[in-house]
């Protein structure tokens, strides 16, 4: 089953507003047209009208139904600037500087629109680095105090794969935190488990990965994973989680039966949490390129509003997929209110 396709159908059941701040990019404009045509979300596309229309011509698409917003002419621009100023004035920023930053870097503009519920979520990163998008989210959106850390995850879907959830996995953190502490690693694990459960209504089976399985080796990185497991069990007692596990013990039943018999997660994990950014980023890119996985992300997590980052090398379909995930997350957030 194509799980990402199922998300598109789910997104169409209750259309949410998703802001795309990078209307200067042809790929984003083409994606906006596809999203609107597929009834995945109501797109708010930021940028100059003439530039966006020119990009639509280049992409050979029509933007009927897409809401184009010129940031400088938008009726709530002063509210957006003043909101950003109030959030950042403790850092010594002036209101003029706040206006300049928001209008020159529209990722911040889109994030504030999401904070103010003008939009239900935002997606950016086609023209900006992950650092840019993460900063905008941290500065402009509220952090989920139950998690306490902003991190990222990737939705990975492999064809003809018997592991995980028939080839479906969540990987984290592969984009933001270089060397998480035990507390941060626990927050990443809880967030990643929540992504699996909220998007697909599938029980998350979370593996905290290492080069060791249940004491087969020793070292500081292993101690960190063991401490993180203790924290997760305390903070999220209903989450199925285990560690430390090597990757094969986490996903291959035959290996798990030898290395860690009796584990409720080993051999059938569908959420893989990496001990550091080196391991996570390398593994997701290898899985994507060599395993030909369909990838959505980085999905930003640990925030009270949904947001997604994009690779600057993304294609149009990847933008559509990111908006789809963000829209479904917005639906789930609305249900919890």
Q: Is the pTM of this model over 0.85?
A: yes
Residue 294 lies in a domain: no
Indicate if 119 and 70 belong to the same structural domain. yes
- Average pLDDT (48-53) is 92
Indicate if 78 and 186 belong to the same structural domain. no
Q: State residue 215's pLDDT score.
A: 81
| 43 vs 19: CA distance, rounded Å | 6
Q: State residue 337's pLDDT score.
A: 62
Percent of the chain with pLDDT over 90: 86
Indicate if 32 and 102 belong to the same structural domain. yes
- Average pLDDT (302-313) is 91
| 189 vs 228: CA distance, rounded Å | 9
Residue 82 lies in a domain: yes
Q: State residue 126's pLDDT score.
A: 92
Decide the pairing of beta strands 307-309 and 121-124: parallel
Residue 89 lies in a domain: yes
Indicate if 219 and 159 belong to the same structural domain. yes
Per residue in 122-131, pLDDT tens?
A: 999 999 988 8
Evaluate if residue 102 carries a pLDDT over 70.
yes
CATH code, 277: 3.40.50.10750
Show the domain range for 229. Answer: 151-289
Using an 8 Å Cβ cutoff, are 154 and 299 in contact? yes
Indicate if 138 and 158 belong to the same structural domain. no
Indicate if 94 and 26 belong to the same structural domain. yes
The mean pLDDT of the chain is 93
Indicate if 69 and 11 belong to the same structural domain. yes
Evaluate if residue 145 carries a pLDDT over 90.
no
State whether residue 209 is helix, strand or coil. Answer: strand
- Domain count along the chain: 2
The pLDDT confidence band at residue 314, using thresholds 50, 70 and 90, is confident
Q: State residue 332's pLDDT score.
A: 85
Indicate if 220 and 92 belong to the same structural domain. no
Evaluate if residue 51 carries a pLDDT over 70.
yes
Indicate if 57 and 113 belong to the same structural domain. yes
The pLDDT confidence band at residue 1, using thresholds 50, 70 and 90, is low
Supply φ then ψ for residue 241, to 5 degrees: -150, 145
- 314 vs 18, which has greater pLDDT? 18
CATH code, 74: 3.40.50.10950
Indicate if 219 and 320 belong to the same structural domain. no
């Amino acid at each position: 089953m194509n799980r990402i396709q199922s998300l598109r159908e789910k997104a169409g059941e209750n259309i949410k507003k998703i802001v795309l701040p990078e209307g200067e990019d042809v790929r984003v404009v083409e994606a906006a047209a596809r999203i609107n045509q597929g009834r995945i979300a109501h797109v708010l596309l930021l940028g100059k009208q003439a530039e966006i229309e020119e990009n639509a011509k280049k992409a050979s698409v029509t933007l009927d139904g897409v809401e184009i917003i010129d940031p400088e002419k938008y009726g709530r621009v002063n509210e957006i600037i003043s909101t950003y100023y109030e959030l950042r004035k403790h850092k010594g920023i002036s209101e003029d500087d706040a206006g300049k930053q928001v209008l020159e870097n529209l990722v911040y503009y889109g994030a504030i629109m999401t904070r103010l519920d003008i939009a239900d979520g935002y997606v950016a990163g086609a023209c900006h680095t992950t650092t840019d998008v993460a900063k905008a989210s941290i500065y402009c959106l509220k952090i989920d105090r139950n998690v306490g850390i902003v991190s990222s995850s990737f939705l990975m879907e492999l064809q003809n794969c018997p592991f995980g959830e028939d080839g479906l996995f969540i990987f984290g953190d592969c984009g933001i935190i270089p060397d998480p502490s035990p507390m941060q690693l626990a927050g990443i694990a809880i967030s990643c488990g929540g992504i699996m459960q909220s998007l697909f209504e599938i029980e998350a089976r979370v593996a905290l990965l290492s080069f060791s399985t249940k004491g087969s080796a020793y070292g500081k990185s292993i101690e960190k994973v063991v401490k993180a497991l203790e924290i997760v069990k305390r903070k999220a007692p209903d989450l199925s989680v285990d560690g430390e596990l090597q990757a094969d013990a986490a996903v291959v039943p035959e290996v798990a039966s030898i290395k860690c018999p009796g584990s409720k997660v080993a051999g059938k994990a569908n959420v893989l949490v990496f001990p550091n950014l080196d391991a996570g980023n390398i593994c997701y890119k290898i899985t994507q390129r060599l395993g030909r996985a369909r990838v959505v992300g980085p999905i930003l997590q640990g925030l009270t509003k949904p947001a997604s980052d994009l690779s600057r090398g993304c294609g149009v379909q990847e933008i559509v997929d990111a908006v789809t995930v963000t829209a479904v997350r917005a639906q789930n957030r609305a249900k919890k209110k």
